[in-house]
Amino acid sequence: MEPQPQVDDDHFEGFRQSFDEIHTEVDKLEKQVIEVERHYESAGNVQGSHSKGGSVVKEKGREKTLVGTKKLLQDAPRTETAAAKRMQELMRQFSTILRQITQHKWAWPFLEPVDVKGLGLHDYYEIIDKPMDFGTIKNKMEAKDDTGYKNVREIYADVRLIFKNAMKYNDEKNDVHVMAKTLLEKFEEKWLQLLPKVAEEEKREIEEEAHAQLDIQHAQEMTYAKIAKDLASELDEVDLRLTKLKEMVIQNCRKLSTGERKNLVSALAKLSPENLQRALGIVAENNPSFECTQVEVVLDLDAQSDYTLWRLHHFVKGALEDQPKICGGTAINIDTDEKKANSRRKREFCDALVNNLTKTRKLSNA
């Protein structure tokens, strides 16, 4: 007679280790699946809100940056450089306007910050929230860091602020008020001549930004589509590995001994309701006709495969180590050849246990 394949605890630990490795890989894949799902869930609500840096999905140690295609990465810096040059040209033309205004014979009060202390203007900062002068504007225009102006409209606003401050602080009949009002009118006339070019550039920047965002969104869609396809393939591969592992386990399963079956019967009766339901679920996985959700369930261990019995054996062992020493849940009647051969006292004990479990479930469902 051929020897039965053996599955002892050492074999089982080897299978468990293989399963744990697969489980770890599945966890990683699940995180990537969630990332893809979030992208598609939010795709319709984030029009124009993509950052230029894009998001990142890590897969097998590699980083897939969702910024776009190679062409998009190459074109973006060139587009920004071209826009910066056009803005520099507008600022150069604006500088011409500033030079004309600051060279006017009435511009001298506004070239430097107001000497509040020297002039004894004790209430100046109570009236003027943001002092401004042409010297400060010049320094900001020449600044190379983030303190500098980004566009001509920012400079325009500060020039107007110079004259508005002077008109606000000084009475209408005051010379400084009159000088500020006159220079403001001249400045506004010159600004209107430059304004069409400014508006055209602003419109162009908006269009280029919108186009860039569409390119980024399209690139992201392509990248996420590829990631989804790759994930599907990897999940199929994991499923195949699990199937092969299951086949290996089945091939190496030996039959439970009489003592192990008796212990399994006793252990099942000690499970908590939650763990008992999980145990019945294990049986249902390999026996589709088995209804594990009924109030009263008849489980014939002799009708189960060795693979299922070993799964129950190891599940029950771990569950009893983790759970408190309680009993109850779904009423279950466990029939085996060994049990049928037991003494009347043993049968009465098991029957009483079943009746108790049945009553407990019926009361809980009442």
* Opening angle at CA 234, ends 70 and 25, nearest 5: 105
Non-local (6+) Cβ contacts of 56 within 8 A are 63, 64, 65, 66
Q: Residue 57: which H helix or E strand, with range?
A: strand 56-59
Task: Report the pLDDT value the prediction gives residue 324, as an integer from 0 to 100.
Answer: 67
Task: Report the pLDDT value the prediction gives residue 342, as an integer from 0 to 100.
Answer: 45
Cα–Cα distance, 194 to 180 (Å, whole number): 21
Task: Report the pLDDT value the prediction gives residue 101, as an integer from 0 to 100.
Answer: 95
Task: Report the pLDDT value the prediction gives residue 48, as an integer from 0 to 100.
Answer: 42
How many other CB atoms are found less than 10 A from the CB of residue 185?
10
Cα–Cα distance, 191 to 198 (Å, whole number): 10
Q: Which residues of the chain have pLDDT under 50?
A: 1-6, 46-69, 73, 326-329, 331, 338-366
Task: Report the pLDDT value the prediction gives residue 32, as an integer from 0 to 100.
Answer: 79
Task: Report the pLDDT value the prediction gives residue 68, as an integer from 0 to 100.
Answer: 47
Burial class (CB within 10 angstroms; exposed 0-12, middle 13-18, buried 19+) of 236: exposed
Task: Report the pLDDT value the prediction gives residue 279, as an integer from 0 to 100.
Answer: 85
3-class DSSP state of 191: helix
Enumerate domains of the chain plus CATH numbers. Answer: 1-254 (1.20.920.10), 258-365 (no CATH)
Phi, psi of 300 (to 5 degrees): -100, 105
Task: Report the pLDDT value the prediction gives residue 26, as an integer from 0 to 100.
Answer: 81
How many other CB atoms are found less than 10 A from the CB of residue 253?
20
Indicate the DSSP class of residue 66: T
